[in-house]
Amino acid sequence: MAQLQDCFAQTEWSIFENVDLQIYTDAVLCYIKHCMDTVTIHKQVRIHPNCKPWMTNKGCVLSPLLFTIYTHDCIPIHRSNKIIKFADDTTLVGLIHNNDDAAYRDEVCHLSEWCDDHNLSLNIKKTKEMVIDFRRRAEVERVSSFKFLGIYISEDLSWTINTTALVKKAQQRLHFLRVLKWNRLQTNLLVSFYRATIESVMTYAIPVWYAGCKVADKNRYQRVIRAAEKVIGCTLPSLDTIALQRCLTRARTISRDTYHPNHYLFAMLPSGKRFRSLSCRTDRLRKSFFPWAVRTLNGQKNQPH
């Protein structure tokens, strides 16, 4: 009996302040009587060490029952979902109609919040998601990158794949520049051809990807520019120069257009000389276009008013 007393002494009874224990009294008493009469010959209940996230600190024979009582109010908030519980194992089942999984996703968020409110933690390593679908329809392919409006977007938001595609296309067009050089075309015409067919390809949508582009990827662009310089025989604008010019042009256009949806991001400080810097918690956000554009504008001597 001393073991049972220790068990109840370790239980956090404050969790039952808003629960009517009377409805559970018979079940608990029957469980204790069963343990005392049939579980052990010497009418004793042994307490074994347990690391389960139950309300008893060290775990006991009553832990599964007490945990069930503790989680009795963990119920679904949507009629299309079901929560199936067995001791500390919980299964969430959602019925999705017409590809609308909003109720299911909302239920997952609610379950996570419920665990936080009740001092419980979800075991992420044991948490799995499975979709059962017998509609026999074509599946939507999931890819790590795709081409959107001419640029390649990766799932990790890096620009290496986009760089590879653009550099490859630019290198292919260097051949035609060499052919024109062999035919002794004038330098100004070679520069015009380079800007129209090679530079335009490499710098497509450069305000979008330049700030977040890795140094190694920028060097790949620059090698193409140096190769073109050797063919033409004159100095060409570097990638940094082109990016700076395009960034300033786009940023000034947005800052002056009050109807632009992102005009509010270019807010002037009370001094009227600098733009308010955008707060960035991550390096990825800091290297995106708008924070980069604000920093670039603030770095110019003549600020737009």
pLDDT one-digit tens code per residue, 229-269: 999 989 999 999 999 999 999 999 998 888 888 889 988 88
Q: Pick from 37, 70, 103: which residue ends a domain? A: 70
Residues 6+ apart with CB under 8 A from 107: 76, 77, 78, 81, 92, 94
Which DSSP category does 119 fall into?
T
Q: Total domain count for the chain?
A: 3
pLDDT at residue 258, rounded to an integer: 87
> For the chain, what percent of residues have pLDDT higher than 90?
27
What is the residue range of 94's domain? 73-140
Distance separating alpha carbons of residues 170 and 199, to the nearest angstrom: 8
pLDDT at residue 117, rounded to an integer: 85
DSSP E strands, 33-167: 81-86, 89-94, 145-148, 151-154
pLDDT at residue 257, rounded to an integer: 87
Q: What is the pTM of this model?
A: 0.56
Tell me, what amino acid is at 75? I
What angle (nearest 5°) sits at the alpha carbon of residue 123, between those of residues 119 and 128?
A: 135
User: Is 56 found in the same domain as 45?
Assistant: yes
User: Is 116 found in the same domain as 7?
Assistant: no
What stretches in the chain show pLDDT beneath 70? Answer: 1-62, 138-140, 301-305
**Roughly how many angstroms between the first and final C-alpha of the chain, as a whole number?**
83
Q: Pick from 104, 122, 140: which residue ends a domain? A: 140
Q: How many CA atoms lie within 13 A of 103 on its CB side?
A: 15
